[in-house]
């Protein structure tokens, strides 16, 4: 089965231009049997499919739940969780990669760098986490080695790194617009019917070929020399977002703690009165 393992939808990614139903139709027309929805820090596209499309249309097409997570210090990471796991934490960008990895693994998920040798701040090999500790690569489960929106030499470097560390390679279009859809693929076993099946095959090291064609009409290509500023803006976006989300998580935890303390106090008072 041929699937696209890096897809952005209008329902889930702020820069996604294609509704998921149109995305599915386009892939089916090109001979694809499925897709891994990897919206930016969101399961929005997958939720829309599950609520409005699943079971009614395209029953011969496999839609899997994934996410492209924007870390604080390691660029973009593709995450695949078991179908029974719903972690809203993964929709709060800005967690450092050394925290993200155990969270994903503890819940039975897998993760790997997206476009690992691409632009600074967005790609793992050009991020601070890798520069501080290159051995983090050993903790990943796979690596995207073909991304249709990256130059061939960048994909070649990613493939070499994956081979060096013994990581299974995947391919995805990273499509945000219609003219990029279907330009990259990963061939997976036909018995994959859910996220857990895919996770099992990747962890077992089942051979999966990937490849495709290079898309040359990306936003960063149009920006030319200014694409460095574009990459820097992602770093600022994640940094500020990470601080904001961390503060929000901290406040929620404190609120929850205070509420639990108050409940315990009330229970003790009731016991005394009894």
Q: pLDDT (tens digit, 9 = 90+) per residue, 160-191?
A: 999 999 999 999 999 999 999 999 999 999 99
Q: pLDDT (tens digit, 9 = 90+) per residue, 107-162?
A: 999 999 999 999 888 999 999 999 999 999 999 999 999 999 999 999 999 999 99
Phi then psi for residue 192, to 5 deg, are -75, 120
- Domain boundaries along the sequence of the chain: 2-226
Kindly state the average pLDDT of the residues 200-221: 89
Residue 221 CA to residue 3 CA, distance in Å, equals 26
Q: Are 129 and 97 in contact (CB under 8 A)?
A: yes
**pLDDT at site 240:** 59
Q: Render 158-214 in DSSP notation, one character per residue.
A: HHHHHHHHTPPEEEE--BSSGGGTTSEEEE--TT--SHHHHHHHHHHT----EEE--
pLDDT tier at 229, thresholds 50, 70, 90: low
**pLDDT at site 254:** 53
Q: Are 192 and 62 in contact (CB under 8 A)?
A: yes
pTM: 0.82
Tell which wins on pLDDT, 2 or 273.
2
Please tell me the class of the 2-226 domain. Answer: alpha beta
């Amino acid at each position: 089965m041929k699937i696209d393992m890096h897809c952005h939808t209008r329902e889930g990614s702020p820069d996604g231009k294609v509704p998921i139903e149109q995305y599915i139709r386009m892939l089916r027309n090109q001979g694809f049997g499925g897709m891994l929805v990897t919206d930016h820090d969101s399961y929005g596209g997958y939720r829309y499919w599950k609520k409005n499309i699943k079971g009614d249309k395209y029953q011969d097409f496999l839609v899997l739940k994934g996410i492209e997570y924007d870390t604080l210090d390691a660029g973009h990471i593709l995450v695949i969780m078991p179908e029974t796991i719903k972690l809203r934490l993964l929709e709060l960008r800005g967690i450092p990669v050394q925290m993200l990895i155990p969270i994903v693994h503890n819940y039975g998920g897998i993760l790997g760098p997206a476009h690992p040798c691409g632009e600074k701040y967005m790609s793992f090999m050009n991020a601070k986490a890798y520069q501080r500790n290159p051995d983090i690569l050993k903790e990943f489960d796979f690596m995207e080695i073909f991304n249709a929106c990256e130059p061939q030499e960048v994909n070649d470097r990613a493939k070499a790194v994956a081979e060096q560390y013994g990581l299974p390679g995947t391919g995805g279009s990273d499509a945000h617009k219609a003219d990029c859809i279907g330009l990259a693929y990963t061939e997976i076993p036909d018995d994959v019917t859910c996220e857990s099946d895919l996770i099992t095959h990747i962890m077992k090291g089942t051979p999966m070929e990937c490849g495709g064609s290079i898309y040359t009409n990306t936003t960063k290509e149009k920006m030319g020399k200014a694409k460095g500023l574009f990459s820097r803006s992602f770093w600022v976006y994640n940094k500020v977002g990470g601080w904001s989300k961390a503060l929000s998580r901290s406040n929620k935890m404190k609120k929850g703690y205070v509420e639990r303390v108050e409940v315990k106090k009330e229970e003790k008072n009731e016991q005394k009165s009894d």
